[in-house]
A and B are shown apart, each in its own frame.
Chain A
Amino acid sequence: MRRTVDTAIILLALVLIWQGLHVIVGETALPGPVPTLTYLARLVPTSRFAVNAAATALSFAYALLIAYGIGLAIGVWLGAHHLSGAVGEPILVALYSLPKITLYPVILLIFGLGVSGKVAFGALHGILPVALLTMAAIRNISTVYLKSARSMKLSHSQTIMTVLFPASLPEVVSGLRIGFTVTLLGVLLAEMFAAKQGLGFLIINAMSLLQTEEMIAIAVLLFAFAAVANAVLLWMEHQLHRRV
């Protein structure tokens, strides 16, 4: 209880800092919390917002699906096959820490300026953490589990379904959580750099029109969405860890 109150106090302090900055730098550069939130309340029901939010949501959903599919496949392969894992891991780690935005023009040249480019760029971000954490999850499975599966004479598919899958699940879910976060960032970056639709596009568009209220309102909304999604996935992860 006290913890929740303390966290709420910090949240309140952040809002007060926001208000303070607003007073210092002025209305046009940084609108205060109250006008921004009332603006957000007016913005959300409009069709302009609905169209752009739907564009982002669609790209994000496709990108996430591809990132999870390819990421899990690579992760399982590199985790299960020892030599491939030893060869591939440093390459994946090196790719993971690259500033992938550098590669966005290549994606644009290949896929063009539509939805597919955004999807490809989002997926490009998500694949690596999902693959790396899935690989680690499978490697970290205790050998005792595998030995007991063998002594119980489980078939290959039984071993996968009843031993490997449940044992690696918690860590895999944490990979999916990080994949969710970076894929969203990838899609938004793609929309900010070059797009005709989407929330990232709205933010950049608002910047060029000096519509700071719209800019911050959308940023706050995306923050809230990402924070809630992260909390839900984190909660799932804790439940799974407790079960194992």
Chain B
Amino acid sequence: MTRVGRIRLIVIVAAIAALELACRTGLIDHRIIVPPSEMVVTLVRILASGSINADIVRTLGIIAIAAAISVVLGFALGLLVHALPRVREALDPFFATYYAVPIFIFYPVLIAIFGLSLVPILLIGVATAIVAMIIATLNGLDRVPRVLTKVARVHRMGAIATAVQLQLPAAAPYLFTGVKLSVSYGFIAVIASEFILAPAGLGRDIADAYADFNNARMYALMLFLLTIATVVNTALHAFDLRWARRRGRGAP
């Protein structure tokens, strides 16, 4: 481990130890934050009991499906828009604004249309994630060397063959940034939806535990969710850096 990595580890461990100490000495009220060690113990007990297995599968499943739809559909739409320069120019202001508007406030509207099921959650997940993939696809396609498209024309490749055999691999390092953002945005949107209103899921579990004043359970579930999010995001970030190096730049 490098020196910087060691210092980082020390900082994180010290922060957790300070929180533990503050909770144990009564500096922080037990009713506000429970000690980190207690969060871990409760989490192990909950996981061992298997009572949240269905919710884990449900929440992570919805996130996975939303991310998968966003990546596949986003890539296809990116290809389409890239092929139509005039449409793309007209769409540019929308792309620049999309993540500036709180798309999430449409979640209640989707509930009104589709009812309280997993459809509105899935849709808001896709709506949040897909545009990042479209933008990443456009960025990637902009950087496909023109000579490759000429080769495709010389070989009389069809549109689909060109997309799959040529544009996809050539733009891949940039596309991965889109995949990373799709998963990360999908995660946030799905959890937020479950928090606000959902029939089941991990976000709903945490909101319920909060409503029941069951702090031990609430903090344990939070720890679980944040750990999963951190592991997934860190793994994607590490992959992204590797791709970034491959395309010959330092950062994504």
Contact = CB atoms under 8 A, between A and B. Distances in A.
Nearest to A230: B100
Given A99-B188, A99-B191, 20 more contacts: A7-B91, A9-B90, A10-B94, A86-B4, A87-B7, A94-B230, A94-B233, A99-B225, A102-B226, A105-B218, A177-B100, A185-B104, A193-B196, A206-B108, A207-B108, A216-B109, A218-B105, A226-B102, A227-B101, A230-B101
A44 interface: no
A215 B109 contact: yes
Contacts of B104: 185, 188-189
Question: Looking at chain B, what size class is its interface with the partner chain?
Answer: 35 or more
Given A91-B11, A207-B111, A109 B105 contact: no
Interface string A90-119: 110110011111111110111000000000
Given A207-B108, A219-B109, A99 B97 contact: no
Contacts, number: 139
A28 B101 CA distance: 25
B37 interface: no
B109 A101 contact: no
A90 B9 CA distance: 11
Contacts of B167: none
Interface of B: 4, 7-8, 11-12, 31-33, 86-87, 89-91, 93-94, 96-97, 99-102, 104-106, 108-109, 111-113, 184, 187-188, 191-192, 195-197, 203, 206-207, 210, 215, 218, 222, 225-226, 229-230, 233-234, 237
Contact of A101 (B11, B105, B203, B218): B203
Interface of A: 3, 6-7, 9-10, 25, 28-30, 83, 86-88, 90-91, 93-94, 97-106, 108-110, 177, 181, 184-185, 188-189, 192-193, 200, 203-204, 206-207, 210, 212, 215-216, 218-219, 222-223, 226-227, 229-231, 234
Contacts of A104: 195
Contacts of A216: 109
Given A6-B90, A86-B4, A215-B109, A105 B229 contact: no
